[in-house]
Amino acid sequence: ARPAPPPEPAPAPAPAPADPNLITASESEGSFHGRADITWYHSPTGCGQNGHAYWTYSTPDAANSENTGRWQPNLPAERLYDVYAHVPVCPNRKASTESAYYTVTHRDGKQEVIVNQATQTGWVLLGRFPFVAGEGGYVELDDITNDAMRVVWFDAVKWVAAP
């Protein structure tokens, strides 16, 4: 007697539909624009949102600034968004900055938000801000901090439509 044929494989589950109320901009996507006068350092393999993040050293002196990152999504609608920055927990021999200055540019102007990347990790709320539809709003971060030679993480930013 012949063995029974193998069972039909189960169909692959359909991917979850994209959430129209959640827009994520990662440093590894086209919505991130970075400037590095010397270099970006890369996180250890698998560390960071989507498995990667950039980092650089901090400086308290603007004349020594070398790195700037901008996350600039294409937002679907004019509305209030809760904006979060992702700060990864990656193995690193250097301490993280205690004063990463994120600048949120939104419909009504700019707001600077200080994040202690040494203690605030994961998705950190920067605040709730009004944005127009399209690419007019963004979040920027550079390497200018209140401390020197600390790690500044550049990973991902997400906009969540406020209820």
Domain count, the chain: 1
On whether residue 12 sits in a domain, the answer given is no
Could you identify the residue written with the tokens 């044929």? 5
On whether residue 135 sits in a domain, the answer given is yes
Sequence-distant (6+) residues with CB within 8 A of 29 are none
Residue 55 has pLDDT above 60, yes or no: yes
On whether residue 105 sits in a domain, the answer given is yes
On whether residue 128 sits in a domain, the answer given is yes
Looking at residue 16, its pLDDT comes to 47
Residue 40 has pLDDT above 50, yes or no: yes
Domain of residue 63, CATH code: 2.60.120.260
Domain span at residue 152 reads 25-161
Output DSSP code: residue 45: T
On whether residue 150 sits in a domain, the answer given is yes
On whether residue 148 sits in a domain, the answer given is yes
What whole-number distance in Å separates Cα of residue 94 and Cα of residue 82?
A: 30
Cα-flanking dihedrals φ and ψ of residue 4, to 5°?
Answer: -65, 145
Rounded to the nearest integer, the mean pLDDT of the chain is 90
Q: What is the pLDDT of residues 108-160, one digit of tens each?
A: 999 999 999 999 999 999 999 999 999 999 999 999 999 999 999 999 999 99
